[in-house]
């Protein structure tokens, strides 16, 4: 089983070569690759060994894993589990306790230097990292032990990529992202709270097909999915351009599907593929459902100035009380200057 190629395994399952090609066409499109690469991808996939993936869950809510599993029918997301061998995943595997630990060590040893290390959840570093333990071991120590043997690390979800919600002020656990702990391994950040399932499967397929990671941007995100903003692809952009904004939820403009900029949509500054790939197999995405983008695939999205419902044009001002104090201070300073001046004027 271990040495079976993907093509063999798919053949056993009754999945034809044509089906694989159709899959490859869909993937190359999703990855914004030239269509001519589809047959190459299909051939590579057929000849590939199943890729070992070791998945460590740290300080997370399990939402990133759930999003990958929420498929009603065989889809791209579903098929991915045929191309990879998920050798360790605490929520899904049957083993527990010391049996699970043994599985982990065996998988690491058997695939040394070749496994993909998938991380979800942030890594707490405060107080020696005691805030998240697996079998008594801190996340930090586990990451530091298993990163060296990986071919690359996938930081899945905003928590693993940037620290996410646990990092929100005041960050009591000292939560950080993978890239703040591991500095000497290729890392792919796949942010999103949660990330779009097709994005993860696209990265994995690319790796399995071409033996390397896809092109990344300066925040280590796959350019194919994070190269544009929600705003760039949003179907409501014409309303933005025409200045048609919903002023409150469920007002006339909102019902007409107008742009949600004034209701705090962070689409223009959020890089992700939600507006094109959408969610739940292309059903919808937050803006289409009438709520502005929260910016959940960007660092520190939870702490952004003014919160989710303050537009990008606004932020957090000093407030009227502080402004009043400032005015009084100004008058006092001016009065002091005037008094000094009066002394000079005979």
Partner 1 sequence: MNDVAKALRGFVADVGPGVALSLEACVHCGQCAEACQFYVQTGDPRYTPIHKVELFKQSYDREIGPFAFAYKFFGLAPKLTAETLLEWQDLVYDSCNMCGRCSLICPMGIDIAELVERTRHGMFEAGLAPADFLGALAEKERATGSPFGLTSENFGTLLHEIGEKHGVAMRVDEVRADIVPTISSIDVKTYPGSMAAIAKILNHVGESWSFRTDGFDADNVSLTAGDRAGQDAITKSIVNAAIGCEAKILVMPECGHSYTEMRWEAANSFGRDLPFRVLQITELMAEMIQSGKLRVKKVTQTATYHDACQVSRRGGATAAPRVIMQALGVELRELEDAGAENWCCGGGGGVALIKRAQPLRDKAFALKQKQIEAAGAATVYTSCSGCRQTLEHGGKAAGWKVTVASLLELVADNLAP
Partner 2 sequence: MLLSFARGPGMQVAALIMVVGMFWRLAGILLLRRRAAHAAARNPFGARLLGGAVTVFTRTIPRRTFWPRVAPGVALSYVFHVGLFIILFGGAPHILIIHEIFGVSWPDLPKGVIVVASGLTLAALIALLVRRLTHPVLQLLSTADDFLSWLIVFLPVATGILLSGETVGGYGTLLALHILSVEALMIWLPFGKLMHVALVFAGRGVLGYNFARKGAAT
Interface residues toward partner 1, by CB under 8 A: 333-334, 337-338, 340-341, 344-346
Among partner 1, partner 2, none, partner that 231 touches (CB below 5 to 8 angstroms by kind)? partner 2
User: What does 318 interact with, of partner 1, partner 2, none (CB < 5 to 8 A by kind)?
Assistant: partner 2
Tell me: does residue 302 bind partner 2 (CB under 8 A): no
Give the up-direction half-sphere exposure of residue 234: CA atoms within 13 A in the CB hemisphere: 32
Among 269, 281, 290, 291, binds partner 2 (CB under 8 A): 269
Alpha carbons within 13 angstroms on the beta-carbon side of residue 55 total 23
| Peptide bond between residue 194 and the one before it cis (omega within 30 degrees of 0) | yes
Nearer to partner 2, 63 or 306 (CB): 306
| Closer Cβ to partner 1, 318 or 334, answer by number | 334
Q: For the CB of residue 320, give the shortest distance to partner 2 in the complex, in Å.
A: 9
* Contact string 124-163 vs partner 2 (x = CB under 8 A): ----------------------------------------
x/- letters, 171..210, toward partner 2 (CB under 8 A): ----------------------------------------
Find out whether 90 and 220 touch, Cβ atoms under 8 Å. no
Residues 27/202, Cβ–Cβ less than 8 Å? yes
State yes or no: residue 95 binds partner 2 (CB under 8 A): no
Binding of residue 272 to partner 2 (CB under 8 A): no
Q: Does 309 bind partner 2 (CB under 8 A)?
A: no
Q: Which is nearer to partner 1, 96 or 333 (CB)?
A: 333
Q: Residue 47 or residue 249: which is nearer to partner 2 going by CB?
A: 249
Sign of CA dihedral 5, 11, 14, 16: positive
What gap in Å lies between CA 204 and CA 227, rounded to an integer?
18
Among 38, 262, 272, 274, binds partner 2 (CB under 8 A): 262
| Site residues for partner 2 per CB under 8 A | 229, 231, 241-243, 245, 261-262, 268-269, 299-300, 303-306, 310-318, 322-323, 326-335, 337-339, 341-342, 345
């Amino acid at each position: 089983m271990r040495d079976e190629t993907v093509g063999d395994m798919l053949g056993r399952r009754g999945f034809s070569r044509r089906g694989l090609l159709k899959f490859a066409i869909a993937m190359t499109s999703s990855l914004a690759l030239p269509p001519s690469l589809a047959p190459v991808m299909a051939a590579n996939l057929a000849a590939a060994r199943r890729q070992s993936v070791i998945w460590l869950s740290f300080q997370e809510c399990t939402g990133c894993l759930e999003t990958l599993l929420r498929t009603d029918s065989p889809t791209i997301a579903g098929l991915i589990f045929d191309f990879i061998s998920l050798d360790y995943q605490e929520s899904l595997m049957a083993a527990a306790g010391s049996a699970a630990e043994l599985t982990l060590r065996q998988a690491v040893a058997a695939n040394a230097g070749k496994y993909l290390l998938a991380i979800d959840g942030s890594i707490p570093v405060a107080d020696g990292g005691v805030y998240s333990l697996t079998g008594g071991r801190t996340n930090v120590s586990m990451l530091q032990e298993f990163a060296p043997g990986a071919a690359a690390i996938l930081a899945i979800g905003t928590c693993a990529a940037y620290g996410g919600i646990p990092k929100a002020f005041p960050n009591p656990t000292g939560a950080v992202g993978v890239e703040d702990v591991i500095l000497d391994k290729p890392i792919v950040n796949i942010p999103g709270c949660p990330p779009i399932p097709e994005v993860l499967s696209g990265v994995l397929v690319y790796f399995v097909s071409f033996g390397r990671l896809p092109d990344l941007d300066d925040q280590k995100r796959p350019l194919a999915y994070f190269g544009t903003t929600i705003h760039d692809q949003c179907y409501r952009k014409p309303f933005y351009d025409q200045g048609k904004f919903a002023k409150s939820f469920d007002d006339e403009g909102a019902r007409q599907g107008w742009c949600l900029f004034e209701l705090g949509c962070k689409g223009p500054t959020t890089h992700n593929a939600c507006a094109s790939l959408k969610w739940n197999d292309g059903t919808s995405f937050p803006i289409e459902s009438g709520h502005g983008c929260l910016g959940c695939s960007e660092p520190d999205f939870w702490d952004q100035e003014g919160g989710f419902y303050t537009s990008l044009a606004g932020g957090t001002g000093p407030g009227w009380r502080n402004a009043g104090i400032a005015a009084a201070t100004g008058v006092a300073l001016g009065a002091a200057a005037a008094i000094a001046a009066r002394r000079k004027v005979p």
